[in-house]
Structure 1
Amino acid sequence: MSGNPNEIKLVNNAMSNATRRKIMNFLANGDRTVEEIGATAGKAMLDFHLKVLQQAGLIELNEGTASLTEYGRNFLKGKEEKEQGKGADLSQARPVEVTEVRQLLPCIADSSKFRTIANMAPPLGGVLKVLEPIFSRSRYSDGIGALMIQQNEVITTIYGTGKVTMTMIKNEEEARSRLENLKSTINEAIAKGVAPAPREKVRVEPMEIYKYLPQTNCGKCSEQSCYTFAIKLMGGETTLDKCTSLKEPGYTTNLEHLQVLSAYI
């Protein structure tokens, strides 16, 4: 690789996907057959993932066997050295308390469920970014300064200011129970002083993306159907903002779910 912008873009796209990162780490231990890779990383869209890595110059494919290129080995080595220099210090963070459950409002997406607004103190601010790895499905947004956590249909958003929102809640009892569990998980990490290292995130399938799309097949995104859009989104060939219907008020909760899921693509 010469390092020109187009080649860098190919590499960044290849490594932005959790499955492809898993394949690269698997190949770091030696050459593997396509069957072995499928057994470890999953067979869904495997040919596509291998092709993307090959086009980026990170792997070589020869008669059903994959191996890292010299560039691929150097890329992983550089990444490992960079990550070893990072520390996640929580020693200055203070334990939090849920100080108030202020509102229980009907959810826009499902009128039988509620949207809860609560307060957590003291505000965690930038510590939220460090806490991201302790939740299996979470994404920190620099844009809004908040940590978004998905647990089945419930999306919890913790803002740096201390505000906490939860969607698709059954009742106030569930809201308080979830807030108490959230507080305990955060305080346990703070007590240890150091957040756990980033871990391999949960695999997302196209049908899970499709579940939260409008499913109207309107074609505004230039794709034939919402399921095709989900496939293209999984492959990094389109972006979530191309689905303009998700910007409508009725799809607010759907968009929140998709924003979290997109972090694992």
Structure 2
Amino acid sequence: MPGNPNEIKLVNNAMSNVTRRKIMNFLSTGDKSTEEVGGEVGKSMLDFHLKLLQQASLIEMGEGTVKLSEYGRNFLKEKEEKSMDKTADLSQVKSIDVTEVRQLLPCIADSSKFRVIANIAPPLGGTLKVFEPLFPRGKYSDKINALIIQKGEIITTIYGTGKVTMTMIKSEGEAKESLQNLKSTINDAIVKGVAPAPREKVRVEPMEIYKYLPQTNCGKCGEQSCYTFAIKLMSGEASLEKCTPLKESQYALNQEHLQVLTAYI
């Protein structure tokens, strides 16, 4: 059973990917064939994902079959118990209101659209994290104490301080409508008193990441092509910072979308 730092690192790496977490949850219902696992999570990089889970002692593999190891079953059980312990009580949280839309500025990446800066009150502070499950493409960042939400081209960031930013907005009317929907979604959860249970994050495919890369195959990241770089991002073997062309102003929107997408990996 994993116990030393290197083994723990293998487990953390294995469970850092949404596809591998989905495989573990799928196996929790019983032993499966590799075909069944591929049908559930997709066959793209399946061998790679299974290999990492096996190296971490989370699964055992036989002749065309996959099952949770004893450690894997205990790991999921412990994770479930911790999740139940962290169920958020929102009974003391006050409903929010949009107090103002303070700025409507041209987007850097697309001058025909706008970047919006608004305010909500009262600030949600540290309780922001529990609202993450409300949004299919929502990701809470401990680093900046903010909830980042992607819906189509629009990226909304809610900070614990009450500040809200939105990109790729078509008009002030769309901004106000989006903010109103945001307010209603959060307040509905507050009225119920308990935030929804954590949910499995959306699955991100390498092609979705590749779509927002420069696609120049310049090799500055050390990889042969942008698609190879996308695969390395998916497996955690590369970081977004290695793609230096993304720092150019013409790729500002691409970088913003990629930062959201890679947060799900």
| 1:14 CA drift (Å) | 0.6
Indicate the residue corresponding to 1:12 in structure 2: 12
Alignment correspondent of 1:206: 206
1:143-169 alpha-carbon deviations (Å, 9 max, x no partner): 212111000111000111111111011
**Which residues of 2 match residues 28-177 of structure 1 at below 5 A?**
28-177=28-177
Corresponding pairs, count? 265
Q: Matches of 1:5 and 1:187 in 2, distance apart?
A: 42
Give the deviation of 1:188 after TM superposition: 0.5
Moved more, 211-220 or 247-256: 247-256
Comparing 235-244 with 57-66, greater Cα deviation is found at 235-244
What amino acid is the match of 2:59? I
Deviation at 1:2, TM superposition (A): 4.2
* 1:187-225 deviation line (CA, Å, top 9, x unaligned): 111111110001111111111111222223222221112
Instruction: Quote how far apart the aligned CAs of 1:229 are.
Output: 0.8
Flag structure 1 segments of 5+ consecutive residues without an equivalent: none
Check 1:192–1:2 CA distance in 2 against 1; reply closer, same or farther (3 A cut).
closer
**Partner residue, 1:221:** 221
Q: Which residue of 2 is the match for residue 21 of structure 1?
A: 21
User: Following TM superposition, by how much is the alpha carbon of 1:256 offset from its aligned partner in structure 2, in angstroms?
Assistant: 2.4
Aligned counterpart, 1:256? 256
Say if 1:20 and 1:214 are closer, same or farther in 2 by CA, change over 3 A.
Answer: same
- Partners of 2:246 and 2:128 lie apart in 1 by 26
Structure 1 residue 6 displacement after superposition: 1.4
Secondary structure, counterpart of 1:245 in structure 2: helix
CA distance in 1, matches of 2:125, 2:248: 30
Q: Matched residues in 2 for 1:180 and 1:2: separation?
A: 48
Describe the superposition over 1:47-100 as per-residue Cα deviations: whole angstroms up to 9, x where unpaired.
Answer: 211111111111111111001112212211222222222121111211111111
SS in 2 for 1:98: strand
Q: Structure 2 unaligned runs (5+)?
A: none
Q: Post-superposition shift, 1:247? A: 3.4
* Residue 117 to residue 2, structure 1, CA distance change in 2 (3 Å): closer
Q: Is the 2:100–2:120 Cα contact (8 Å) retained in structure 1?
A: yes
Aligned amino acid, residue 39 of structure 2: A
Corresponding residue for residue 230 of structure 2: 230
CA distance in 2, matches of 1:88, 1:121: 20
Shift of 1:249: 4.0
Instruction: Check whether the contact 2:2–2:56 (CA below 8 A) recurs between aligned residues.
Output: no
| Residue aligned with 2:195, SS | coil
What is the TM-score when the length of structure 2 is the normalising length?
A: 0.95
Structure 2 Cα separation of the partners of residues 168 and 182 of structure 1: 16
Name the Cα RMSD after superposition: 1.4
What code does the residue aligned with 1:242 have? K
Name the CA distance, whole Å, in 2 between partners of 1:2 and 1:41: 26
